[in-house]
Amino acid sequence: MAQDSPSFTAEVCGNGHVTTSAVERTPAWIEKFCSICGSATIRECPACNAPVKGQDNVYWDGSEYVPDAYNPPNHCHNCGAPFPWTRARLQAAKEHAAELEELDEHERQQLPGIIDDLASGGPRTELAVGRVKRILKKVGPTVGSGLQKIVVDVASEAAKKLLLGL
């Protein structure tokens, strides 16, 4: 496995697909557009131009570099702005929530804020987890499993642990 090393820059498309988590180590993997979905890739925060924090998660197996698991950050480490893939996931989660017929108007209005609280990992995370669990229970397993997948996708690590009981 790779040793501790300086920070690496990741390249990620607007939908969150990682082309490389270590541009400096694997320049051959650089893509102007994602080979999975066709979305443009970035290596810098669109808001402040700080590099997207990568990870030295490639290792030499004796003949080639092999990628290890890497999840791109949701927010910029320098300015706190959400990355394009985070904004897209939050928007999709909110749109999905707005279409849930099983919810009353108050719950539908409350859900976008709950989703934001789940994504932030801040002091309202536990409250948001409790609220979304009640909503998931209300909408039932068929609708709830789809909503849970979307919510977990945008949730902070702390919220994921609480949602999934880890």
69 and 90 share one domain: no
pTM reported for the whole predicted model: 0.79
Q: Are 70 and 123 contained in the same domain?
A: no
Tens of pLDDT, residue by residue over 21-66, are 989 988 999 999 999 999 999 999 999 999 999 986 566 667 766 6
Question: Helices in the chain by DSSP H: which ranges?
Answer: 84-98, 105-120, 125-154, 157-164
Q: In which residue are the tokens 């669109």 written?
A: 46
Which range of residues forms the domain containing residue 152? 84-164
Q: Is the dihedral of CA 126, 110, 72, 142 positive or negative?
A: positive
Q: Are 19 and 66 part of one and the same domain?
A: yes
Q: What pLDDT does 38 receive?
A: 97
Q: Could you give the CA distance from residue 129 to residue 147 in angstroms, rounded to a whole number?
A: 13
Structure tokens at 72: 């791109």
Query: pLDDT per residue over 63-102, tens digit each?
Result: 766 666 788 998 999 999 999 999 998 998 888 888 888 8
Task: Tell me the backbone φ, ψ of residue 90, rounded to 5 degrees.
Answer: -65, -45
Do 142 and 109 have their domain in common? yes
Query: What pLDDT was estimated at residue 144?
Result: 79
Q: What is the pLDDT of residue 101?
A: 86
Both tokens assigned to 29: 């993997």
pLDDT of residue 2: 42
Please say whether the beta carbons of 19 and 32 come within 8 A. no
Same domain, yes or no: 70 and 125: no
Give the domain-ending residue among 76, 103, 136. 76
Do residues 36 and 66 both lie within one domain? Answer: yes
Are residues 100 and 28 part of one domain?
Answer: no
The pLDDT tens digits of the residues spanning 98-146 come to 888 888 889 888 999 999 999 888 899 999 999 999 988 888 887 778 8
Residues 42, 106, single domain; the answer is no
Is the domain of 154 the same as that of 114?
A: yes
Number of domains comprising the chain: 2
Phi, psi of 79 (to 5 degrees): -120, -10
pLDDT at 5: 45
Same domain, 66 and 99: no
Q: For residues 60-72, b (16+ Cβ closer than 10 Å) or e, as one string? A: eeeeeeebeebeb
35 & 69 share domain: yes
* Residue 99: partners with Cβ closer than 8 Å, 6 or more residues away: none
Instruction: Report the SS3 class of residue 9.
Output: strand
64 shares its domain with 95: no
